[in-house]
Structure formats: C-alpha cells, structure tokens
Amino acid sequence: MSKHIEPSELPYRPCVGIMLLNRDGHVFVGKRIDQTLEAWQMPQGGIDKGEDPRTATFRELEEETGTRHAEILREHPDWLTYDLPAHLVGFALEGKYRGQKQKWFALKFLGSNAEINIKTKHQEFSDWRWVPLGDLMRLIVPFKRDIYAKVVAAFGDLSKPSR
C-alpha cells in the first residue's frame, strides 16, 4: 500500500515563463496539445539542473516555437508560484510536484511569423496565435490566471506596437 502524499509535501518545479510580444504588441499563445479542454498558454518550461533562467528561457522558446529570434525586454523581479488543482496532483508534472515556481521574462520577437514552427521534436502546442493583451486572460486555464495577472501587471506596458 503506498503512502498518501499531501500536496504541501511536494516541491514546486522551477520553471521559466515567456511573454513573447510581436511588433504589434500582441502576445504569443499556444494551444496545449495534451489537454482535452481548450487550454492556451504562453511558452513555459522547466529549468534544467545547473541551467540559469535566461538560458532556459531561450531553450524553451526554441523548443516550443521553433525560434530563438527574440531579445529579453524585462525580467519579473519575483519568482511566481501556482498550485495544481487537486485532481492533477500526482499526475501532471510527472507526479513529482505540487505546482510550479516560475521566473517570467518579457521578450520582443524579432523575426517573422514564417520562423515560428510549433511542430518541434517535443511538440507541446497544436495551434498558435498572436492575441491582444486584453484577450489573454480569458484564454488561460483558471488555475494559472493569478500568475498571468501578475505577469500582465509587470509587463503590460511593453505591449505597445513598435514599428
């Protein structure tokens, strides 16, 4: 018989999150390939052992969008955390974590849409699009909305067109 583990006994997975902004000031979102419900999110992913968050940001960007053609505009000053809903604890994130501890970065996309390729080796998105900042929150799964609100508050001023 296995011992029941309380979510509070599990650690947070260290991750990066990326608000990628195009020249119109719109935000990149991808539709998760592994969800039955429609779930959109900004690129994010784990920080490998020994990897610094900025390096992880560009690795994750390439793994999820097929490009590194971007520059960092700003780093969120804090690590932001979220807890998984109870029904996902023990299943999501390989069952090892209670949620994620994320370092967020705002990046300006320097390329063209033709460079974006979500059909990567470890594909996470089935679709992608650029959305105005005001449309972002309604697309996000409820358990991540608090973090997204903090990210929008910290980086929202960067979502202005830059021609």
Retrieve residue 116's tokens: 């974006």
Q: pLDDT, tens digit, for every residue of 48-85?
A: 999 999 999 999 999 999 999 999 999 999 999 998 88
pTM here is 0.91
By percentage, how much of the chain surpasses pLDDT 70?
A: 90
What number is the average pLDDT over the span 119-141?
93
Evaluate if residue 127 carries a pLDDT over 60.
yes
Report the CATH number of the 12-158 domain. 3.90.79.10
Retrieve residue 5's tokens: 């583990």
Confidence band (pLDDT; 50, 70, 90) for 125?
very high
Domain ranges of the chain: 12-158
Residue-level pLDDT at 88: 72
Evaluate if residue 34 carries a pLDDT over 60.
yes
Residue-level pLDDT at 92: 62
Q: How far apart are CA 66 and CA 71, in angstroms?
A: 15
Q: How far apart are CA 23 and CA 160, in angstroms?
A: 8
How does the average pLDDT of the chain come out, rounded?
90
Q: Write the CB contacts of 72 (distance below 8 Å, at least 6 apart in sequence).
A: 54, 57, 105, 106, 107
